[in-house]
Amino acid sequence: MLAGMARGAARVVVTVLGRRPLRRMELAYLGFTVAEFATWVAVLVFAFERGGATAAGVVSVIQLVPSALVAPVAAAFGDRFRRDRFLRYGYVVQAVTYGATGALMVAGAPGWAVYAVAASAAVSITLTRPAQGSLAPLLVDGPDELVAVNAVSGGIESASFVIGPVLAALLMAVSEPGTVFLAMGAAVAVSALLVGGRAMSAPEEAPTPDDDDEQPATAFRRSLEGFARMAGQRDAALLVGLVASQSLVIGALDVLAVVLAITVLGLGTAAPGLLTAAVGVGGLVGTAAGFALVTRRRLTPPLALGALLLGAPLAVVAWRPEIALAFAMLAVAGIGRVVMDVAGRSLLQRAVSADLLARAFGVLEGLAMAALAIGSILASALVAWLGGRGALLVTGLMLPVIVASCWRSLRRIEARAAPPAEIVELLRKVPMFEPLPPLALERLATSAGEMITPTGATILREGEPGDRFHVIAGGHVQVLRDNQVITELGAGDSFGEISLVRDVPRTASVVATTEVRTATLDREVFLRALSGNPASARAARRVVADRLGGPP
């Protein structure tokens, strides 16, 4: 079985890295994640050398809290501008702030100055995952490839969880923490170069005429308006909260690893680091399990399994605190973390509309940062209240209970995210929807309704307001203007776009000459699909111009 998983993992990696945009995106992400973990260790060492454990704890809060607050707002701009550029600008900001932090450390600047710039670097880190999470669906050819990209990203994070701290340790062994920041600034600068140029452009990422002229204040206001829409999407809110909840356990493990190693197992002070490394090693194994999700259309069972694997091992250790079992169980927890993350992020990318994806991932990033801090505080409180074993038990049960409580909603979300293939193919043949990426087309199909009209009935009436767009799945209609037949339409043809695109009353009537079955899109859904894709918007204007006999 392991050999089969290894072969499957190799095929997934070859598929993803064989495509230039995806390869460049993932290589850039490797530089980012290694830098993230390496600089985290370096800044904590820097703080510890100047103020001990208390200073290190304060620095952790200084970095996490602003990041949690800024991440959702900053990521909102990813839905307003080209996502490849937004990703690149994030890397540039990280390179600059890492370099500035390292320069201050090397120059012997006051601690407050170093921590302030380091905090800005930590905030800039929160831009990358939302940008990449919203860009990836535009670069893939379908849901399977999207899961593959997420699995590769998860594997990179797991590897960097080990590589980053080791690299930081090697650099600090021959130099100082400032050298780590300078080196990682250079690494992230390379990441910015990798995602630069036209190689990362996606079909719907062509610039619109308004983008360059939009004032920053206007862009900021319009970016924030999307949060109200996202808050109204229960599916998005549930998935964001669920994926972020794993950070509660990860944050708690920072404290519980120390308690488990020293108090429960009676090991030395080096053991907490080894237990944490076991989680990272398990994450590498979990990456192969993440690759196994590529061919699965149903992701809620793996999501639930990941939550169980992340939480239950802690309860097992609480029940039977033995050294070998503790290391094995923490490795299993690492597997669960990756499986839950890959399944949850893939579900989120399928369920949330493209124009809200960056905001959704920004909120996820902010919540994850906050959950890390809350998890650490909660673990400390549980240890004080219930002791080490009691804290492990309660922490281990949190995620399975959370997932079980929202299981029915998760199943409903997945059912909605998998539209009938017939509707997808029907919409794919509509000229204005041809430029849409496969996942955007699937999301559009999930919003489609069905309407059956009997022979002789009027579907649209000239002069009335327009509220729907129709694509004929079966049957025939006549289009009449001033009671004169101007054309006939059949299966695969569409109508109703003129009043929606130009915001005018219906310019013609449509009457069923046979029983007609149409797939329908509400006005808001239809216009949102066009506004999110300049190529589709241009195609719609051409269709309207052809039907009215005027310029587009």
What's the pLDDT at 98? 94
For the chain, helix, strand, coil in percent to 5 are 75, 5, 20
pTM to 2 decimal places? 0.69
Would residue 463 count as lying in a domain?
A: yes
382 and 438 co-located in one domain: no
- Cβ(539)–Cβ(545) under 8 Å? no
CATH code where residue 469 lies: 2.60.120.10
Would residue 147 count as lying in a domain?
A: yes
Would residue 227 count as lying in a domain?
A: no
Nearest in space to 191 (alpha carbons), one of 287, 145, 125: 125
| CA 310 to chain CA mean position, Å | 20
Domain edge (last residue) among 418, 436, 468: 418
Residue 551 in this model has a pLDDT that exceeds 50: no
Domain edge (last residue) among 359, 388, 418: 418
Domain edge (last residue) among 418, 451, 484: 418
274 and 374 co-located in one domain: yes
* pLDDT tens digit sequence for 365-405: 778 878 887 887 788 788 888 888 898 899 999 989 998 88
What's the pLDDT at 416? 67
Say how many domains are in the chain.
3
Would residue 207 count as lying in a domain?
A: yes
Residues in the chain: 552
324 and 387 co-located in one domain: yes
Rounded CA separation 367/412 (Å):
24
Give, rounded to a whole angstrom, the gap between the first and last alpha carbons of the chain: 58
CATH code where residue 140 lies: 1.20.1250.20
Dig out the tokens for 158 from the structure: 């797991």
* pLDDT tens digit sequence for 508-523: 999 999 999 999 998 8
Would residue 10 count as lying in a domain?
A: no
Region 132-139: mean pLDDT is 81
Taking CA atoms, 162 is separated from 36, 190, 279, in Å, by 12, 21, 10
Would residue 543 count as lying in a domain?
A: yes
Would residue 46 count as lying in a domain?
A: yes
Q: At what angle do helices 216-231 and 357-405 cross, to 10 degrees?
A: 20
Region 431-453: mean pLDDT is 81
Nearest in space to 463 (alpha carbons), one of 494, 432, 515, 498: 498
CB proximity list for 64: less than 8 A, separation 6 or greater: 122, 369, 370, 372, 373
Taking CA atoms, 504 is separated from 466, 481, 498, 551, in Å, by 8, 15, 8, 16
- Cβ(419)–Cβ(427) under 8 Å? no
| 514 or 277, higher pLDDT | 514
132 and 269 co-located in one domain: no
What's the pLDDT at 552? 40
- Which residue, chain included where needed, has tokens 């002789």? 456
Q: Write 3-12 long-range contacts (CB < 8 A, 24+).
A: 5/288, 5/289, 5/291, 5/292, 6/288, 8/288, 8/291, 8/292, 8/294, 9/287, 9/288, 9/291, 12/148, 12/151, 12/152, 12/291, 12/294
Burial of 255: CB neighbours in 10 Å, binned 0-12, 13-18, 19+: buried
What's the pLDDT at 383? 84
Region of residue 491 (left: phi > 0; alpha: psi -120 to 50; beta: else):
beta
Residue 1 in this model has a pLDDT that exceeds 50: no
Beta strands 494-495 and 468-474, pairing class: antiparallel
470 and 387 co-located in one domain: no
197 and 68 co-located in one domain: yes
Q: List the beta bridge partners of residue 487.
A: 479
Minimum mean pLDDT among 117-121, 416-420, 481-485: which range? 416-420
What's the pLDDT at 183? 95
DSSP assignments along 474-512, one per residue:
ES-EEEEETTEEEEEE-TT-EE-HHHHHHT---SSEEEE
261 and 212 co-located in one domain: no
What's the pLDDT at 139? 81
Mean pLDDT of the chain: 80
445 and 540 co-located in one domain: yes
414 and 429 co-located in one domain: no
386 and 439 co-located in one domain: no
Q: List the beta bridge partners of residue 521.
A: 469
Residue 285 dihedral angles phi and psi, to the nearest 5°: -65, -40
Region 236-260: mean pLDDT is 82
Give percent of the chain above pLDDT 90.
18
What's the pLDDT at 204? 47
The domain containing residue 65 runs over which residues? 15-217
Would residue 6 count as lying in a domain?
A: no
149 and 281 co-located in one domain: no
Question: What is the pLDDT confidence band of residue 169, given thresholds at 50, 70 and 90?
Answer: confident
| 55 or 22, higher pLDDT | 22
Residue 247 in this model has a pLDDT that exceeds 80: yes
Q: List the beta bridge partners of residue 381.
A: none
414 and 279 co-located in one domain: yes
* pLDDT tens digit sequence for 293-328: 655 667 788 888 889 999 999 999 989 888 889 889
* pLDDT tens digit sequence for 60-97: 667 777 777 776 666 666 666 677 888 888 899 999 99
* pLDDT tens digit sequence for 520-541: 998 888 887 777 666 777 777 8
